Structure 1
Amino acid sequence: MTKKIVVLGVSGSGKSLIGKNIAEKLGYRFFDGDDFHSTANVEKMSQGIPLTDDDRKDWLAALNKLLIDNPTAVIACSGLKPEYRAMLRQGLDDVAMVYLKGSIDTIWERHQKRDDHYFKGRGMLESQFATLIEPTEEEAFVIDIAQDADAVLNQALSLLSES
């Protein structure tokens, strides 16, 4: 099994929850990509302003460094575009990606139940969906999040065990 895992998806898809649980089950370190955004990025998002490719560049480099510097790691990161995923994998050949796929309606419903998160408003979620270029099955394990979190976790662990 790979020792470096990135859990991908738009905000509210369950990246942090599933990522933490994968890390716990495997005894790996977990890093929530949201914790590594610059103050400027967090401020932009809290005002409902979507991030640009330039805004994300240093953030993705920091997450890549975490993967390089840790013998085992699970990182939750949106990874919305192929070039972002390439930046995460840069210099590594042993990164497995798990993409949590869901409809905007399912994810918006989950967003409305969240408290104290800087990611605000349906417009921000719509912006992420507009930016999203979904990973292919060759690039990532694709898991439908319409099922409950335990089923998503079990499917992720099963797919990862085969990698």
Structure 2
Amino acid sequence: MGVSGCGKSLTGTLLASELGVPFYDADDYHSRANVEKMAAGIPLTDADRLGWLDDLAKLMRREEGGLVLACSALKRAYRERLRNGNPQACFVYLKGDFETIWARHSRRTDHYFNGRAMLESQFQLLEEPGADEKAVVVDVSGTPEQVIGHCLARLGYDRHL
């Protein structure tokens, strides 16, 4: 979980490979209306996200052997909605400062998420996971290999599965 550009898709793909479980990108489950809205630089509302989050929670329940899902899950309420029926779900919060994320984000050419203002809105919306949530925090300033190593360590996995 984390803001756009923090490395959810890359990290998720690598983590799923290490764990031997399927990877899914929540962006692939947005409605056409949501994608069009974001491409126009309009941030999504909570109402825009409800059906999307419910679809993702269902996907999580279907994958009984586990999965890695790259999803922004910026608010506690979103994480609670994802956890609905999925009490074992653990969140990996990919944390980075605005300038680091913006530098990465601004190099993207093939993504519908559009603009600095949209990223600023995500940082404003972000509710970092609380101590009472089942979540681990991983700094994204390192290389992808370092980030994956930290993810696995914080999740309690040996690197050589």
How many correspondences in the alignment? Answer: 155
Q: Which amino acid aligns with 1:96?
A: C
Distance 1:53 1:116 in 2: 25
Instruction: List gaps (5 residues or longer) in structure 1.
Output: 1-7
* Secondary structure of the structure 2 residue equivalent to 1:10: coil
Structure 2 residue 93 is the aligned partner of structure 1 residue 99: yes
TM-score, structure 2 normalization: 0.93
Instruction: Give the aligned partner of residue 30 of structure 2.
Output: 37
Higher strand share: 1
- SS state at 1:118 partner: coil
What letter matches 2:156 in structure 1? Answer: S
What do you get for the CA RMSD once the two structures are aligned? 1.0
Distance 2:144 2:96 in 1: 13
1:80 aligned partner:
74
- Give 1:91 deviation, angstroms: 1.2
After TM superposition, the runs of 4+ consecutive aligned structure 1 residues lying more than 3 A away are: none
Question: Equivalents in 2 of 1:137, 1:45: separation in Å?
Answer: 31
Q: How far, CA to CA, are the matches of 1:28 and 1:119 in structure 2?
A: 27
Match of 1:68 among 38, 61, 64: 61
AA aligned to 2:120 is E
- Aligned-pair CA distance for 1:102: 0.5
Q: Which moved more, 1:79-88 or 1:133-142?
A: 133-142
TM-score (norm 1): 0.92
Match runs of 1:125-140 below 5 Å: 125-139=119-133, 140=135
The DSSP-based 3-state class of the residue aligned with 2:90 is strand
